[in-house]
Amino acid sequence: MDQLLESQEKERESVGRRSLSARVRQIPPSGIRKFFDLISSMEDVVSLGVGEPDFVTPWHIREAAIYSLEKGYTMYTSNYGLLELREAVANDLRRRFQVEYDPTCEILITVGVSEGLDLALRAIVDPGDEVIIPDPGYVSYQPCTILAGGAVVPVPTRLEDGFKVRASEIEARVSSRTKAILIGYPNNPTGAILSHSELQAILDVAQRHGLLVISDEIYERLVYDGKHTCFASLPGARDRTILLGGFSKSYAMTGWRIGWAAAPAEIIEGMMKIHQYSALCPPIMGQKAALEALRNGEQQSLAMTREYDRRRRVIVKGLNEIGLPTFEPKGAFYAFPSIATTGLSDDEFAERLLREERVAVVPGTAFGEGGRGHVRCSYATSLNNIQEALRRMRRFVERVRA
């Protein structure tokens, strides 16, 4: 009987393996998921792991969704998303960055920036096309490129440069197969931002070589030092840019799954061809809530940003005092200390810190090879948690060094 069960199990496994496409098999298991599986089996963990606001969505935004349900808004919207919401996104981009998009055909409401990113890559990448991506970068960039049939060309960024990608290093990697440059600033996991002139230098490279730029600006409202430059607002950039933005981080709306893409009409039309057959549209209640966020959410968003800024100062100071050199993040809500002096790899550091001191951080290599020797600590958690995590990390580092 046991043998029968065993052979059935083997057969199932082998069918499963054979069924997966080569593209899917190419994707390594997520470095982050492994840790979250571990954390969920433990008690008393102080988590600096998740990249998610600890705030609840502001009440007036939740109320807008509740009201929409009371009014019976439970149906599909246009595949582009609610026109009112597209108009609000276009107005916001015009008001803050002086960049113009036609809400009827140049803006698409997506299921978070996650879907926007996937659509953008699938709409433009042919098999073997190369996408140049700063490394480390957000965990989805590389897998989504591969799943779209593309090849990832990473550009390492370094602590000494404040983790800014150099346009010259992008240009050195351009080939006849390069299709696009994919940037995400403010950056997850490093907190780096790029100045107007640094973005201009990337645009110059894109123009010289006829490339598209996908610019993931999900953290654009979370900038502590300096001012955010919207890539599409640079003169001549709009027509070669797919701009991605969303609500998850700045309005504490991760669970609502609403984002948007803005791009020239032909590109949005291409993205729409995928979106209409896969997602159709994001939930209408979420879209109603996002509309309220854009119309009346600025003050709460600013208040949350001020609170992250307070936490940022505490965590950066604390990590440096422990002897883990930490670049001062300029945006987003992550600190990215170097753990090289402990002699542990980033994987070992994160795993031992979790097991021995019950503090969750994410190994830097989860964000690409360029993250080696670092860990990501999210400060989208309470000051108390941050202080407790720092106490435990100090104890851990002292023990490892002893």
Pattern of binders to ligand PLP over 246-285, x per CB under 6 A?
Answer: x-x-----x----x--------------------------
State yes or no: residue 188 binds ligand PLP (CB under 6 A): yes
Is 203 in contact with 215 (CB distance < 8 Å)? no
What is the rounded distance in angstroms from the CA atom of residue 388 to the CA atom of residue 261? 39
Nearest-approach distance from CB 367 to ligand PLP, in angstroms = 10
What is the rounded distance in angstroms from the CA atom of residue 123 to the CA atom of residue 141? 15
What is the rounded distance in angstroms from the CA atom of residue 300 to the CA atom of residue 62? 13
Find, among 54, 51, 70, the residue nearest to 62 by Cα: 70
* Nearest residue (CB) to ligand PLP, 51 versus 134: 51
395: which 2 tokens?
């104890």
State yes or no: residue 184 binds ligand PLP (CB under 6 A): yes
* Nearest residue (CB) to ligand PLP, 179 versus 249: 249
Residue 43 φ/ψ region, left for φ over 0, alpha for ψ in the -120 to 50 degree band, beta for the rest: beta
Indicate the helix (H) or strand (E) that contains 51: none
* Nearest residue (CB) to ligand PLP, 198 versus 204: 198
Nearest-approach distance from CB 140 to ligand PLP, in angstroms = 7
Indicate the helix (H) or strand (E) that contains 279: none
Find, among 205, 84, 187, 94, the residue nearest to 135 by Cα: 187
State yes or no: residue 113 binds ligand PLP (CB under 6 A): yes
Nearest-approach distance from CB 2 to ligand PLP, in angstroms = 45
State yes or no: residue 342 binds ligand PLP (CB under 6 A): no
* Nearest residue (CB) to ligand PLP, 51 versus 150: 51
Nearest-approach distance from CB 216 to ligand PLP, in angstroms = 5
Number of chain positions touching ligand PLP (CB under 6 A): 13
From the list 106-114, 125-133, 233-241, 310-318, the region that binds ligand PLP by CB under 6 A is: 106-114
Q: Identify the residue among 114, 142, 287, 326 touching ligand PLP (CB under 6 A).
A: 114
Q: Identify the residue among 212, 218, 285, 362 touching ligand PLP (CB under 6 A).
A: 218
State yes or no: residue 89 binds ligand PLP (CB under 6 A): no
Residues 6+ apart with CB under 8 A from 389: 46, 48, 359, 377
Residues 6+ apart with CB under 8 A from 331: 185, 186, 187, 191, 192, 193, 219, 220, 222, 223, 224, 225, 228
Which SS3 state, helix, strand or coil, does residue 70 take?
helix
Q: Identify the residue among 54, 106, 135, 216 touching ligand PLP (CB under 6 A).
A: 216
From the list 107-115, 284-292, 344-352, 355-363, the region that binds ligand PLP by CB under 6 A is: 107-115
What is the rounded distance in angstroms from the CA atom of residue 235 to the CA atom of residue 160? 30
Nearest-approach distance from CB 366 to ligand PLP, in angstroms = 12
Question: Which parts of 116-155 interact with ligand PLP (CB under 6 A)?
Answer: 138
Kind of pairing, strands 151-156 and 130-135? parallel
From the list 39-47, 60-68, 109-117, 144-152, the region that binds ligand PLP by CB under 6 A is: 109-117
* Nearest residue (CB) to ligand PLP, 57 versus 248: 248
What is the rounded distance in angstroms from the CA atom of residue 264 to the CA atom of residue 380? 34
Nearest-approach distance from CB 344 to ligand PLP, in angstroms = 25
Residue 202 φ/ψ region, left for φ over 0, alpha for ψ in the -120 to 50 degree band, beta for the rest: alpha
Alpha carbon 285 to chain centroid distance?
23
Is 327 in contact with 159 (CB distance < 8 Å)? yes
State yes or no: residue 326 binds ligand PLP (CB under 6 A): no
Residue nearest to ligand PLP (CB): 112
Q: Which residue has the tokens 């659509």?
A: 119
* Nearest residue (CB) to ligand PLP, 157 versus 188: 188
Q: Identify the residue among 49, 81, 103, 112 touching ligand PLP (CB under 6 A).
A: 112
Which SS3 state, helix, strand or coil, does residue 155 take?
strand
State yes or no: residue 53 binds ligand PLP (CB under 6 A): no
Burial 67-79 (b: 16+ CB within 10 A, else e): ebeeeebeeebee
From the list 79-87, 101-109, 110-118, 339-347, the region that binds ligand PLP by CB under 6 A is: 110-118
What is the rounded distance in angstroms from the CA atom of residue 372 to the CA atom of residue 366? 9
List residues binding ligand PLP (CB under 6 A): 51, 112-114, 138, 184, 188, 216, 218, 246, 248, 254, 259
